[in-house]
Amino acid sequence: MSATLFRNARLLDPASGRDETGAILVVDGLIAALDGGGVPSGTTVIDCGGHCLAPGIVDMRVQLREPGAEHMENMVSASHAAAAGGVTTMAALPNTEPPIDDVALVDFVARRARDIGLVNIHTYAAATKGLKGRELTEMGLLAEAGALGFTDGIRAIADALVMRRALSYARTFDLLLIQHPEEPSLAAGGAMTEGEMATRLGLPGITPAAEVMMVERDLRLVEITGARYHAAHVSTAAAIEAIRGAKQRGLPVTCDTNETAVGEYRTFAKLSPPLRSEWDRRAVVDGLRDGTIDAIASDHAPHDQDSKRLPFTSAESGIIGLETLLPLSLELYHNGHLPLISLLRALTCAPADILRLPVGRLATGAPADFVVFDLDRPWQIAEDDFRSKSKNSPFDGRPVQGRAIKTIVGGRVVYDSKD
Amino acid sequence: MLPFRHRHLLGIEGFSPDEITTILDLAEGHVEPNRQADKKRSVMRGRTIINLFFENSTRTRTSFELAGKRLGGDVINMSVSGSSIKKGETMIDTAMTLNAMHPDVLVVRHPESGAVQLLSEKVNCAVINAGDGSHEHPTQALLDALTIRRRKGGLSGLVVAICGDILHSRVARSNIQLLNIMGARVRLVAPRTLLPAEAERLGVEVFHDMRRGLKDVDIVMMLRLQTERMHGSFVPSTREYFHFFGLDYDKLAVAKPDALIMHPGPMNRGVEIDSEVADDIDRSVIRHQVEMGVAVRMACLELLTRDLGNGPAIP
């Protein structure tokens, strides 16, 4: 038996609403007690210095690039990046090479995660074979092998009939379908959100309506099929409003958003979905505040220099986010937009519940996955410090507030800022 | 006088329990004679039966052909899929042409739902629906009923699970009707992609899990999954389909110990049904169904032609 006591911590558990100074006893990888009580002899004691202790972050949208593009990222480098960012559970998209559309590949991810043994790595599986948007994958068998949900990754399932059947089939086994909500025919060739900025830069724009159109279509199909549906990285006021209405009607719908900022010509700020207007950004904050948006994910998308050192239109979309998710999310708290406990909910138990994982909470018997963080510490994001293999972040040099000090997975310290 | 008031046999819908019993009783009487060396009867002597098939079929067509011949009628087969349609003749023109030759019965199969009824409105002979699209296949439901009745003594009160591609199945639709009329309880078991909308309104219980759907049933009816539907459009693959919805001993274990296994054929072994289960002589009545098919079709032909006089002259 191994026991560790994390004492002198501000315990923050969004699932129960707990916010109080206390200690947490971990025995054999599980949370054994939250309110002191008897401590077994031989217990290791770690003083948290009065800092915050919250459930580890559950990042429900990352791209790990393994198998297929290990020069950009692999599960080892991503695990280290996650640990440094306070992320204890990652859910990986299936858009690898080959795509994760077969039971053997789900097994591969599980085996690699076990061998690396730093943070929890789960994978989604493709909803359609080869992510081609035509034929359904073996969702039942893939789920039995451990796939958390089904998605075509950074591609929308464009064909309405295929989407209907995917939802209908997924419902047979009560599985989760995740959509990249963007009408592809409107997004084709586009590089950024349509509007004044795109016009001035002379870049092909994507109308923000491309998002709400896909969301609204999908919501109709959810209404027919009753399947569990999750819209990824919603970023427009209209789409958020559509999801708000769907939730009020009782549809089994959830969504997440990600942390983005406004940039210039720099391809490191080329995203999918593209950066939006201030109006949309505020709608995202409102959506988080009223619970329409359930979760915040990093949408970690590593790209090497060659994929980004290109003219804007030709460059790949996406930024890395595992190591910046916590400090950038905390901006919402420091700016007074969101109470700390609500913000943490969107990073921990809310995504865990969507994915039906037993993590993301400080509860007796739950896995001892948590992060100790300094809520107020000011620091500057520096790409040289990234553990991720790729450095494509537009936030290099940005001053932020709040940082992970220790990350614990299964009771084991997998990151310590002192090291 | 036997209760039977139909000019055509287009579907099970609209039949009374008495009428169904009449057909089954009559069919029962053909079972033993069909097993004898001399199978020939004379009740349809002089009658002409045309098997008009707009869709490929071997089993059903052969069964009707034998039924007609054993009753002493003259049977000819027309496969239309290849010939007249290519020449541009419409279905109704084909039917009218044949009608002019004074057949007594047209046995019609067509890939479109409702086509056989439309045809029946244009001819003045009796029409038997040998399967129209995804709508009805009444003689299959009747032969299934006869098979069950011979093994279980009756239909009322039995729990019957119909499993697989309900969406495209005319066999399922006819069986749901017949079993409900006869007082059996019907369950459907299928992935949601293979179930039609509002299926529960057909008077059935719907399941998506074989172990729940087969719990304590008396009869397991498996349906054929067409090859073109196996690879990603309705179900992802044959191995996934078999894993979750294929009938094997493991899933069958929750059914009653004396539950019968049925399949309208042709079977996809290893897709919807495990080979051993299909061939289990204690449980599987699949061969028996084929045998009852001839007897049931004889009964239908006999009933429909019993009261036919000479057809009116064609002007």
A299 catalytic, yes or no? yes
A320 and A371 both lie in a single domain = no
Does some domain include residue A404? Answer: yes
Same domain, A37 and A153: no
B232 with A141: Cβ contact below 8 A: no
Split into its structural domains, chain A has a count of 2
Residues A88 and A7 in one domain: no
Instruction: Report pLDDT for A265.
Output: 43
Question: What is the helix, strand, coil percentage profile of chain B, to 5?
Answer: 40, 15, 45
Q: Give the pLDDT of residue B308.
A: 66
We report the CATH number of the domain holding residue A47 as 2.30.40.10
* Mean pLDDT value of segment B20-43: 95
Contact list, B244 vs chain A (CB under 8 Å): 140, 173
Flag whether A360 is in a domain. no
What is the arithmetic mean of pLDDT over B297-301?
A: 97
pLDDT band at A268 (very low <50, low <70, confident <90, very high): low
* Within-domain flag for A362: no
Domain assignment present for A361: no
- Using the Cβ of A137 and the Cβ atoms of chain B, whether some distance falls under 8 Å is answered with yes
Residues 179-238 of A with CB under 8 A from B: 225
Distances (CA, A) of B146 to A239, A304, B31, B154, B161: 57, 70, 10, 9, 17
pLDDT above 70 covers a percentage of chain A that reads 97
Q: Given this model, what pLDDT does residue A264 score?
A: 37
d(CA B48, CA B204) in angstroms, rounded, equals: 40
Question: What is the ipTM for the molecules in this complex?
Answer: 0.81
Contact A172 B208 (CB under 8 A): yes
Range of the domain at A206: 56-355
Pick from A137, A168, A225: CB nearest B236: A137
Among A135, A164, A221, A225, which would you mutate to test the B interface (most chain B Cβ atoms within 10 Å of its Cβ)? A135
Are residues A63 and A47 part of one domain? no
Joined tokens for residue B265: 């054929």
Q: How many CB pairs under 8 A join A and B?
A: 46
A332 belongs to a structural domain: yes
3-state secondary structure labels for all residues of chain A: CCEEEEEEEEEEECCCCEEEEEEEEEECCEEEECCCCCCCCCCEEEECCCCEEEECEEEEEECCCCCCCCCCCCHHHHHHHHHHCCEEEEEECCCCCCCCCCHHHHHHHHHHHHHHCCCEEEECECCEHHHCCCCECCHHHHHHHCCCCEECCCCCCCCHHHHHHHHHHHHHCCCEEEECCCCHHHHCCCCEECCHHHHHHCCCEECCHHHHHHHHHHHHHHHHHCCEEEECCCCCHHHHHHHHHHHHCCCCEEEEEECCCCCCCCHHHCCCCCCCCHHHHHHHHHHHHCCCCCEEECCECCCCHHHHCCCCCCCCCCCCCCCCHHHHHHHHHHCCCCCHHHHHHHHCHHHHHHCCCCCCCCCCCCECCEEEEEEEEEEECCHHHCCCCCCCCCCCCCEEEEEEEEEEECCEEEEECCC
pLDDT for A306? 81
Q: What is the pTM of this model?
A: 0.88
Residues 6+ apart with CB under 8 A from B101: B48
A106 in reach of chain B (CB within 8 A): no
- Under the banding of pLDDT at 50, 70 and 90, the label for residue B309 is low
Q: Which residue from B191, B231, B243 is facing A169, i.e. has the nearest CB?
A: B191
Task: For residues A407 and A281, state if they share a domain.
Answer: no
Nearest CB among A139, A171, A225 relative to B236 is that of A139
Q: State residue B84's pLDDT score.
A: 52
Residues A256 and A404 in one domain: no
Cβ-based contacts of A143 with chain B (< 8 Å): none
Q: B 181-240 residues with CB below 8 A of A? A: 191-193, 208, 231-237, 239-240
pLDDT digits over A2-53, tens only? 899 999 999 999 999 999 999 999 999 999 998 766 788 889 999 999 999 9
Q: Do A128 and B232 touch (CB under 8 A)?
A: yes
At A310-333, the pLDDT tens digits run 777 778 888 889 999 999 999 999
Any chain B CB within 8 A of the CB of A140? yes
Confidence of residue B311 (pLDDT cuts 50, 70, 90): very low
Assess whether A284 and A174 both reside in one domain: yes
In terms of Cβ atoms closer than 10 Å to its own Cβ (0-12, 13-18, 19+), residue A261 is middle
**% of chain B exceeding 70 in pLDDT:** 94
Does residue A161 sit in the same domain as residue A222?
yes
What are the pLDDT digits (tens) for A153-174? 999 999 999 999 999 999 999 9
The least confident of A185-194, A361-370, B128-137 is A185-194
- Residue A36's pLDDT is 65
pLDDT tens digits, one per residue of A388-416: 998 888 888 889 999 999 999 999 999 99
CA of B150 to nearest chain A CA: how many angstroms apart? 35
pLDDT at B119 over 50: yes
| Cβ contact A149:A355 at 8 Å | yes
pLDDT of residue A171: 97
Residue tagged active-site, from A152, A280, A299, A353 = A299
Say which residue, B90 or B14, is predicted with more confidence: B14
Q: Verify that A305 and A324 share a domain, yes or no.
A: yes
DSSP secondary structure of B230-261: TTTTSSS-HHHHHHHHSB-HHHHTTS-TT-EE
Residue A69 resides in a domain: yes
Name the token pair of A35.
Answer: 């309110």
Residue A392 counted as domain residue: no
Same domain assignment for residues A156 and A170: yes
Q: What are phi and psi of A69, to 5 degrees?
A: -135, 55
Which chain A residues are within 8 Å of B243, Cβ to Cβ?
Answer: 140-141
Describe the strand order of the beta sheet including A150-151 as a list of residue ranges: A150-151, A176-179, A228-231, A253-258, A295-297
- Any idea what the CATH number is for the domain that residue A111 is in? 3.20.20.140
Give the span between the Cα atoms of A356 and A344, in whole angstroms: 17
Least confident of A101-110, A258-267, A278-287, A347-356: A258-267
Whether residue B157 is predicted with pLDDT greater than 80 in this model: the reply is yes
Does residue A240 sit in the same domain as residue A332? Answer: yes
Q: Do A174 and A311 sit in the same domain of this protein?
A: yes
SS3 B212: helix
In a domain, A288, yes or no: yes
